[in-house]
Structure 1
Amino acid sequence: MKLVLTFLMVLMAQSGWADTLVPVRTIRAKQVITAEDLAYKSVDIAGTFSDPAEVIGQEARVSLYAGRPIRPGDIGPPAIIERNDLIMLKFSRGGLVISTEGRSLGRGSEGEIIRAMNLASRTTISGRISADGSIEVR
């Protein structure tokens, strides 16, 4: 009887556990995560990933250590602009579009706001990164 109760308690304790994605090796910040980097581990931690499609192709924002669950703030889309890249600065209002060359002062992915320098005027501006790698200035 005691063995059956112990088995039921263990079974009930494990029923809330879910498979969570963990790295199989240390993944350094700025590295893109591949399918070979991931494995499942049965742990009960809220706010972690269980679907590999949500993680594969993302970039590590911090170092991810083997066996530790991956949290949403640990990863993000890969950067398309690196610090000191030559980029196009674009300003558009109505039908007017002004483009000039600039240099990025940070790194980021599509949709993020970063600082850049207008190479013609040496003015520092902030803008949102477009999918084509240019920066939209507002």
Structure 2
Amino acid sequence: MLRLSCLFALLASSVAAETLVATRTVRAQTLLGPEDVKVIERTIPGMLSHLDEAVGLEARVSLYAGRPIKPEDVGPPAIIERNQIVTLIYRRGGLTIAADARSMARAGVGDSLRVMNLASRSTVTGIVRQDGAVTVGGPDLSLYN
């Protein structure tokens, strides 16, 4: 029984988890390709572990060669730039109002974004849609349309 438990302990320790690291220094706002990241045989809790978790996404911060990549270090590519004029859509029940707004930051599809309504100068937070509009108010069933 002792030998069996030792064998299981050895097998468990020989299976290494993987961690994703940058292969070179990558500047923030750069789309990540397969040449920018690699998987190493090392366990670092809370870090990305597979290539598909980062490839095609945008670096939100600078990534340094050999350093592990955290989930919050990458995100969907930005489709809205800071100070860009966007369409602000307010939905509540059957009511829909559209207005022009200025974005306060960069954002990608599904990101939360603060925008300033150009007519009222009020600042609101909404969700970026695939078409580049920002929706506030009630649930938007066409979020990704």
**TMscore range, shorter length:** 0.7 to 0.9
Given the alignment of the two structures, is residue 99 of structure 1 paired with residue 98 of structure 2, yes or no? yes
- Per-residue Cα deviation, 1:48-75 (whole angstroms, up to 9, x for no partner): 2232111101111221111112121221
SS at match of 1:102: strand
CA–CA distance in structure 2, aligned partners of residues 68 and 12 of structure 1: 27
Residue type of the alignment partner of 2:79: I
- TM (norm. structure 1) is 0.80
Aligned residue number for residue 26 of structure 2 = 27
Identity %: 49
**1:83 CA displacement:** 0.6
Flag structure 2 segments of 5+ consecutive residues without an equivalent.
1-9, 138-145
Q: 1:15 to 1:129 in 2, by over 3 A?
A: same
CA–CA distance in structure 1, aligned partners of residues 67 and 111 of structure 2: 27
Aligned residue number for residue 110 of structure 2 = 111
Q: 1:68 to 1:93 in 2, by over 3 A?
A: same
Flag structure 1 segments of 5+ consecutive residues without an equivalent.
1-10
CA–CA distance in structure 2, aligned partners of residues 18 and 122 of structure 1: 51
- Aligned pairs for 1:1-138 within 5 A: 15-138=14-137
**1:12 CA displacement:** 6.6
Contact 1:33 1:59 in 2 (8 A): yes
- TM (norm. structure 2) is 0.77
**1:34 CA displacement:** 0.7
What is the aligned length? 128
SS at match of 1:53: helix
CA–CA distance in structure 1, aligned partners of residues 125 and 48 of structure 2: 33
**1:13 CA displacement:** 9.1
Contact 2:104 2:115 in 1 (8 A): yes
CA–CA distance in structure 2, aligned partners of residues 14 and 37 of structure 1: 29
